[in-house]
């Protein structure tokens, strides 16, 4: 981890981003982004990601969100999404903040870094208490959220038939 930072999506990271998406697909990860568009028209893909805070280009049921990419030098490492408000689904199992680290870069401290760098961004959006959720079997994410000050509220069943979700709150008023 040399020059790690959160940046807005940028065409500058195209090759690295597309390589990361191949890693996610290889592990069977379902995503909400149009990767066919990313492969054929990356500039438009990036522009649409950067317009999501304004409520544009959102899939049905989504709320405005700010998307950041964690980069280390010239390499795309992961994504952080900060949802500006919570709808019923996000309040139950999604939360304000979601993140993922590309498979080849996991277990190197990047998950802790992306959340540490992202919490001030959430505070800038006037989120006073950030809800984060993760699957009960995602030990790495559980550790990351706890390390960032997450306080467990409770566990809820996942209506999508997956593992139960652990719900944590992080106070951003300090």
% of the chain at pLDDT higher than 70: 96
The string of pLDDT tens digits covering residues 11-63 is: 999 999 999 999 988 887 766 666 777 888 999 999 999 999 999 988 888 99
Kindly tell me if the per-residue pLDDT of 97 is higher than 70.
yes
Asked if 130 and 21 count as a contact pair (C-beta separation under 8 A), the reply is no
**Lowest-pLDDT choice from 33-47, 113-127, 145-159:** 33-47
User: Is the pTM value of this prediction over 0.95?
Assistant: no
CATH of domain 4-125: 3.40.630.30
pLDDT at 68: 98
Edge-to-edge order in the sheet of strand 151-156: 129-135, 165-171, 151-156
Span between the terminal Cα atoms of the chain, in Å: 28
167 has which bridge partners? 133, 154
What pLDDT is recorded for position 32? 64
pLDDT score, position 152:
95
Summarised one tens digit per residue, pLDDT across range 63-77 is 999 999 999 999 999
Query: How many Å apart are CA 126 and CA 141, to the nearest integer?
Result: 24
Per-residue pLDDT, 2:
61
What pLDDT is recorded for position 24?
Answer: 87
pLDDT score recorded for residue 85: 95
109, 146 contact by CB (below 8 A) = no
CA 134, CA 146: separation in Å to the nearest integer?
A: 11
Domain ranges, ordered by start, for the chain:
4-125
**161: pLDDT strictly greater than 80:** no
Alpha-carbon distance values, 164 to 83, 131, 147 (Å)? 21, 16, 21
């Amino acid at each position: 981890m040399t020059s790690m930072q959160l940046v807005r999506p940028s065409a500058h990271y195209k090759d690295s981003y597309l390589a990361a998406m191949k890693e996610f697909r290889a592990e069977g990860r379902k995503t909400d982004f149009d990767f066919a568009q990313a492969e054929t028209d990356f500039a438009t893909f990036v522009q649409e990601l950067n317009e999501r805070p304004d409520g544009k280009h959102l899939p049905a049921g989504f709320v405005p969100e700010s998307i950041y990419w964690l980069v280390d030098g010239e390499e795309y490492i992961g994504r952080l999404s900060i949802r500006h408000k919570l709808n019923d689904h996000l309040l139950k199992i999604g939360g304000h903040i979601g993140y993922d680290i590309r498979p080849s870069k996991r277990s190197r401290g990047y998950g802790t870094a992306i959340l540490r760098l992202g919490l001030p961004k959430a505070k800038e959006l006037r989120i006073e208490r950030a809800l984060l959720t993760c699957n009960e079997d995602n030990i790495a994410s559980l550790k990351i959220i706890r390390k960032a000050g997450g306080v467990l509220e409770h566990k809820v069943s996942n209506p999508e038939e997956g593992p139960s979700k652990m719900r944590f709150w992080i106070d951003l008023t300090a």
